[in-house]
Amino acid sequence: MTANKYEKLNIYQYMGGIHIHSAFSDGTGDVDLISKAAKKAGLDFIIVTDHNSLDIEEGYYNGVCVIKGEEISPDEKNHYLAFGINECIRSDNPKEFIEEVRKQGGFGFAAHPDEGKNKKGQCRKNSYAPIKWTDKNIIPDGIEIWNWFSQWGDNLNDSNIFSLIYSYLFGHKSVTRPNEDTMKWWDELNNNTGEIIPALGGIDSHALIVNDYIIPIKIFPYEKMFNTITNILTFEKPLPENFTARKEQILNAIKEGNNLIINRKIDKHIPKINLTGGLKVKLSDNLCLNIETKKKASIKIIHNGKELYGKIAKKCNLILKEAGKYRVEIKVKNKGFAYTNPILVY
């Protein structure tokens, strides 16, 4: 396994792709093909989340830890990524399925909750109806704050062949940062609770094959997608080799918010941040948040949903003087690059 070890700090990081569709739902790959693509993209683990299905066999494939989840997918609304469950859940009622996931000992994330607006803030201009989380008063365990395919879809213009070709060739240009409405909702939920409502970054990869043209065209193959939105989990010790034990630690980390979300299409270098998301630390005299990036970047620190600090630099050291929830956003060349989960200071 290719855990990335900091030279001086005793930290091990594992990279994962989350929200993937296989041929068991509307994707095109089997577990062998998907895991090979993940390996090539340097991922340590992936979580396959087929629509209303848990059919994929989990385990190690091609050196990648393949975990299964389910995207509970009522028609046209309220998709939910459920992890740590053993029995497939089919329900159209979000309150009911959130509870059912918990009953099975699992947890879940509202998927692409605010799908539908393009980067100019306008409604989608294509024939695919957005799938939203329809009642924001129903609080999920966690939120998918960034979804590659959903954001691409929000910016897809299929009114003519030229826009369509542009969308396929330069799709990554439309994936600029997490959805603003979703970020607002996420901050609000975190402001209203003493717990941490975690976030993850999803790819929603399908590797769709379009047969409308002379040769079949594969849209966004798995490997290409696996090099975009990535979840970085940080541990003090290497993860155990045993599959069940490793899976448990990976899922626990995601549940706790020990998860840094980066878009590797923007930059390959993982920023170094001394306090990891999901951490609960006591306020003390010299509690400092240190951030270091490889390239000059716009670094923002958000405290209880409000911007506390912003600077364009490669390094930032900020003494934390108040209790509350802190999170970090990093942009490179004005494009969203890295998003931490909240760090709770009490």
Residues that bind Zn ion (CB under 5 A): 71, 79, 111, 204
The nearest distance, CB 334 to Zn ion, in angstroms, is 28
**Phi, psi (5° rounding) for residue 125?**
-115, 55
Q: Which is nearer to Zn ion, 155 or 190 (CB)?
A: 155
Residue showing the smallest CB distance to Zn ion in the complex? 79
CA dist., res. 44 & res. 38, Å (int): 8
Please report, for residues 3, 60, 185, 328, the alpha-carbon distance to residue 308 in angstroms, rounded to integers and kept in the order given. 33, 43, 19, 10
Q: Using the minimum distance from each CB to Zn ion, give the nearer residue, 59 or 130.
A: 130
Smallest gap, in angstroms, from Cβ of residue 230 to Zn ion? 17
Residues with Cβ < 8 Å from 232, sequence gap 6 or more? Answer: 13, 14, 15, 16, 259, 260, 261, 262, 270
**Mapping DSSP to helix (H, G, I), strand (E, B) and coil, where does residue 165 land?**
helix
Provide, rounded to whole angstroms, the least separation between the CB of residue 45 and Zn ion.
18
Partner residues linked to 59 by β-bridges: 66
User: Which of 69, 271 has the CB closer to Zn ion?
Assistant: 69
- Assigned token pair, 106: 């699992």
Return the SS3 of 269. Answer: coil
CB of 88 to Zn ion, least distance (A): 15
Write the CB contacts of 160 (distance below 8 Å, at least 6 apart in sequence): none
User: 45 or 148, CB closer to Zn ion?
Assistant: 148
- Give the nearer residue to Zn ion in terms of CB position, either 206 or 327: 206
Cβ atoms of 234 and 260 within 8 Å: the answer is yes
- Write down the least CB distance from residue 205 to Zn ion, Å: 9
By beta-carbon proximity to Zn ion, the closer residue of 200 and 270 is 200
> Least separation, in Å, of the C-beta of 67 and Zn ion?
16
Least CB distance to Zn ion at residue 120 (A): 23
Rg (CA), the chain: 19
Q: Which is nearer to Zn ion, 71 or 267 (CB)?
A: 71
Closest CA to 261 of 142, 161, 156: 142
**CB 208 → Zn ion: shortest distance, Å?**
12
Neighbour-count burial for 114-153, b at 16+ CB within 10 Å, e otherwise: bbbbbeeeeebebeeebbbbeeeeebbbbbbbbbbbbbbb
Helices (H) and strands (E) in the chain, counts: 7, 20
Nearer Cβ to Zn ion (70/71): 71
